[in-house]
Chains A and B, each alone.
Chain A
Amino acid sequence: MILMFVRNSWAQLARDRAAQVLAFVVPLVFFSIFAVIFGSRGPTDGTSRVRVAVVDESHSDRSKALVRALESDSSLRIRTRVSGGVPGKPGAPFTRADAEQLVQRGDVAVALVLPAGVEWSLMSFASGERVKALLLHDPGDPIAVRVVGGLLQRAAIRAYADASGDSTPAGARELLPLPFEDRAVVGQKRTSPMISFYAASIAVLFIMFSATAGGGGALIEETESGTLERVLTTGLGMTGLLIAKWLSIASLALAQIVVMFVWAAVVFGLPLGEHLTGFAVMSVFTALAASAFGLVIGTLARTRQQLTGLANLLVLGLNAIGGSMFPRFLMSEELRKFSLVGFNAWALDGYIKVFWREEPLAAIAPQVAALIGFTALFLFLARRLASRWETA
């Protein structure tokens, strides 16, 4: 009798493709996504290099040797000159202000400033005050500044060795080859810098779940209950029904975001009041995009089982690569670029700009434009897919 139930449960699983996908495919997809994310941070993978902007205010032979040593380090991706997207004359060496801006914008994880006189500090273990290098960093990536600080010492030794042929200076074990100090240039006022990131990421993850559930309800539930047939015999029509569902799901998503951020503000001190406009703009467009995304899943799935399988696969997958589970700024550059295929990555970028980098409202224009584009695409797809529910 007991064996019969075991056999029956396997027989049912064998006939339920959605359950098979959930049981076997989704875990593999997730494993693969995280393997790519974390695997790419291994030491042998060139894609995991820490992005560093270097400002050489010393202009000395020693500082130049140090920069060359840093550039030859396979763990670092060094930028020293203005290129596309950065204010200033293309090709000009970075200024301290440029570097600070690059860190604030999240273009580099760390900026290294080599002030004038630092060349005398390099490999000089004499007592007394020495000019220090400066590491400007984003506390959102606390690992990067430590990695760069360590690699800076290695590069200093290498640069010295290249110059003198001696790689073991006296006292090197006790004293730093190049003293440095670090300074956060983002979120200095925040007590817990990652609160805003997690408020946004968890909110986006869950509104995607509720939007797919709502999107499924748009057509599958209405079909099952018979209300779809009844509604479509009225003057509303499929386009009207989809718009109504889109707006209703979006309003729920917006409410979820508001609850999440208010909670974060009240309990964890998120400065919601200081960024109300940016928050409102990002939340409205994120909610509209998530709702349209939910409609696509809802119209793509033909059964409730398909809906569950698709929703789990796409929502968790997009959030894994989109930065809800693992910050995008810690991902390799290639993965960061690839993750922009999901609207949620744009949404998170927007929230991070508003709350974390405290950029002006105009700075989120690319994110808002992308969300509008995604929304239009999703609505178009949902309308096309929904046509099969229309007149036979």
Chain B
Amino acid sequence: MAVLEVRDAHKRFGATQALDGLSLMLDQGEMLGLLGPNGAGKTTLIRAIAGRVRLDKGTVAVHGRMLAAGAQRPDLGVVPQENALYPLLTARENLETFGKLNGLEGKRLRERTAWALEWTGLADRANSVARSFSGGMKRRLNLACGVLHEPKLVLLDEPTVGVDPQSREKIYDMLSALRADGASLLLTTHYLEEAEARCERIVIIDHGRAIAAGTLSQLVEQAGLAGRVVRVSLERETASPPAGFRSEGGGTELVANIRDVASELPGLLTRLQQAGLGVRDLDVRTASLQAVFLELTGKELRE
């Protein structure tokens, strides 16, 4: 049974159709990446799952149980994009506050608070006020406040935004530990390389609908970008790329799409040689999530 199932979600705010028949499913122990341009409907979807938005149509079910907006969701943990902390409370007090709000009491609260302080690496700063923390420390505390009560489903809205690579790595280690303990994670992010590297499956949403879903290779297929991308750095600029190439990066970089490396790559290199273009570097890879994302959602600015 799916941990989370959203079916045919519709939500309109005035003239804006924020969700327009969106459906998705999250399996047990999975980390699902939710991608989309700004205004695609990600936040509305997260808020609908959290019970903060009442759907005009459609359903949200957690562990097969339909949830009404405003109904309690004890199995759910929400980690908002903002560091939703009380700045003048200490790390321990913030954890205790959100632990109590999520139903923890007494010994259990103390145990979970101690666990969270260790888990976040903030044990030695337990009695420092949150305001004095670095961005990475606040992010980790923000994450811990959302999962202290051991929810089986965790919604993470841009959990690594604005932190350095070390903190980002630490946060993903923390998320891996959560999954090892049996939690399922739904993650929104604009860091496509993170989603590509960390999520088993990805759902791309735009204009309130899921326009593609699956593993990276499935998304590549759905975007019509199957095969390999050959990227060549030239020793000099060229105004007229040889057949099969297109120019990128101001004429010193050429790109070609091929389906089979062994049979098509030699021909490409021969054509470069015949055109008198020396090759400085060569890169062959599958289409990136970034390419898939731009292919599916377009390059037009959204805001």
Do they bind each other?
yes
> CB within 8 Å of B: which residues of A?
225-227, 229-236, 390-392
Q: Are A235 and B70 in contact (CB under 8 A)?
A: no
Partner of A229, one of B13, B84, B87: B84
15 A-B interface contacts by CB (under 8 A): A226-B80, A226-B83, A227-B84, A227-B86, A229-B52, A229-B80, A230-B84, A230-B98, A232-B52, A233-B78, A234-B101, A235-B101, A392-B13, A392-B47, A392-B54
Q: Are A226 and B101 in contact (CB under 8 A)?
A: no
> CB within 8 Å of A: which residues of B?
13, 47, 50-54, 69-70, 72-74, 76, 78, 80-87, 98, 101-103, 145-146
Which residues of the other chain, A, contact B84 by a CB distance below 8 angstroms?
225-227, 229-230
Complex Cα–Cα for A162 and B120 (A): 95
Complex Cα–Cα for A231 and B54 (A): 17
The smallest C-beta distance from A377 to any residue of chain B, in angstroms, reads 26
Q: How many A-B residue pairs have CB under 8 A?
A: 54
Q: Are A230 and B52 in contact (CB under 8 A)?
A: no
Known: A226-B80, A391-B69, A392-B13. Is A233-B50 also a contact (CB below 8 A)?
yes
Which residues of the other chain, B, contact A236 by a CB distance below 8 angstroms?
101
Q: Are B86 and A392 in contact (CB under 8 A)?
A: no
Which residues of the other chain, B, contact A226 by a CB distance below 8 angstroms?
80-84
Which residues of the other chain, B, contact A225 by a CB distance below 8 angstroms?
82-87
Known: A230-B80, A391-B54, A392-B54. Is A235-B146 also a contact (CB below 8 A)?
no
The smallest C-beta distance from A222 to any residue of chain B, in angstroms, reads 9
The smallest C-beta distance from B156 to any residue of chain A, in angstroms, reads 13
Known: A230-B145, A235-B103. Is A391-B86 also a contact (CB below 8 A)?
no
Complex Cα–Cα for A114 and B74 (A): 79
Instruction: Please name the residue on chain A nearest to B72 by beta carbon.
Output: A235
> Chain A at the B interface: mostly helix, strand, loop or mixed?
loop
Partner of A390, one of B70, B83, B98: B70
Complex Cα–Cα for A392 and B70 (A): 10
Complex Cα–Cα for A390 and B51 (A): 10
Partner of B78, one of A230, A235, A390: A230
Complex Cα–Cα for A296 and B72 (A): 27
Which residues of the other chain, A, contact B70 by a CB distance below 8 angstroms?
390-391
Complex Cα–Cα for A235 and B74 (A): 8
Complex Cα–Cα for A57 and B142 (A): 80
Partner of B85, one of A227, A234, A235: A227
Which residues of the other chain, A, contact B52 by a CB distance below 8 angstroms?
229, 232-233, 391-392
Known: A233-B78, A234-B101, A235-B101. Is A391-B53 also a contact (CB below 8 A)?
yes
Which residues of the other chain, A, contact B87 by a CB distance below 8 angstroms?
225
The smallest C-beta distance from A247 to any residue of chain B, in angstroms, reads 16
Complex Cα–Cα for A317 and B78 (A): 43
Q: Are B13 and A233 in contact (CB under 8 A)?
A: no
Instruction: Please name the residue on chain B nearest to A236 by beta carbon.
Output: B101
Complex Cα–Cα for A230 and B76 (A): 11
Instruction: Please name the residue on chain B nearest to A389 by beta carbon.
Output: B52
Q: Which 6 A-B pairs have the closest CB atoms?
A: A226-B82, A226-B84, A234-B101, A230-B84, A227-B84, A233-B50
Which residues of the other chain, B, contact A232 by a CB distance below 8 angstroms?
52
Given A229-B52, A233-B51, A390-B70; 15 other pairs, CB 8 A cutoff:
A225-B82, A225-B86, A225-B87, A226-B82, A226-B83, A229-B47, A229-B80, A230-B80, A233-B52, A233-B76, A234-B101, A391-B52, A392-B13, A392-B52, A392-B53
Which residues of the other chain, B, contact A231 by a CB distance below 8 angstroms?
101
Which residues of the other chain, A, contact B47 by a CB distance below 8 angstroms?
229, 392
Which residues of the other chain, A, contact B53 by a CB distance below 8 angstroms?
391-392
Most B CB within 10 A of own CB, among A236, A390, A392: A392
Complex Cα–Cα for A235 and B13 (A): 26
Instruction: Please name the residue on chain B nearest to A238 by beta carbon.
Output: B70
Complex Cα–Cα for A232 and B84 (A): 12
The smallest C-beta distance from B224 to any residue of chain A, in angstroms, reads 37
The smallest C-beta distance from A159 to any residue of chain B, in angstroms, reads 71
Most A CB within 10 A of own CB, among B74, B81, B101: B101
Complex Cα–Cα for A390 and B52 (A): 7
Instruction: Please name the residue on chain B nearest to A230 by beta carbon.
Output: B84
The smallest C-beta distance from A236 to any residue of chain B, in angstroms, reads 6
Complex Cα–Cα for A230 and B98 (A): 9
Which residues of the other chain, A, contact B80 by a CB distance below 8 angstroms?
226, 229-230
Complex Cα–Cα for A389 and B13 (A): 15
Which residues of the other chain, B, contact A234 by a CB distance below 8 angstroms?
98, 101-102
Complex Cα–Cα for A390 and B78 (A): 16
Most B CB within 10 A of own CB, among A231, A234, A236, A390: A234
The smallest C-beta distance from A221 to any residue of chain B, in angstroms, reads 10
Which residues of the other chain, B, contact A235 by a CB distance below 8 angstroms?
72, 74, 101-103
Which residues of the other chain, A, contact B74 by a CB distance below 8 angstroms?
235
Which residues of the other chain, A, contact B103 by a CB distance below 8 angstroms?
235
Instruction: Please name the residue on chain A nearest to B54 by beta carbon.
Output: A391
Instruction: Please name the residue on chain B nearest to A235 by beta carbon.
Output: B72
Instruction: Please name the residue on chain A nearest to B11 by beta carbon.
Output: A392
The smallest C-beta distance from B52 to any residue of chain A, in angstroms, reads 6
Complex Cα–Cα for A230 and B97 (A): 11
Which residues of the other chain, A, contact B51 by a CB distance below 8 angstroms?
233, 391
The smallest C-beta distance from B96 to any residue of chain A, in angstroms, reads 13
The smallest C-beta distance from B105 to any residue of chain A, in angstroms, reads 13
Which residues of the other chain, B, contact A392 by a CB distance below 8 angstroms?
13, 47, 52-54
Which residues of the other chain, A, contact B72 by a CB distance below 8 angstroms?
235
Which residues of the other chain, A, contact B54 by a CB distance below 8 angstroms?
391-392
Complex Cα–Cα for A233 and B13 (A): 20
Complex Cα–Cα for A118 and B14 (A): 82
Which residues of the other chain, A, contact B85 by a CB distance below 8 angstroms?
225, 227
Complex Cα–Cα for A361 and B69 (A): 49
Which residues of the other chain, B, contact A229 by a CB distance below 8 angstroms?
47, 52, 78, 80, 84
Instruction: Please name the residue on chain B nearest to A224 by beta carbon.
Output: B82
Complex Cα–Cα for A278 and B70 (A): 43
The smallest C-beta distance from A304 to any residue of chain B, in angstroms, reads 15
Complex Cα–Cα for A225 and B69 (A): 23
The smallest C-beta distance from A180 to any residue of chain B, in angstroms, reads 62
The smallest C-beta distance from B4 to any residue of chain A, in angstroms, reads 15
Complex Cα–Cα for A230 and B100 (A): 13
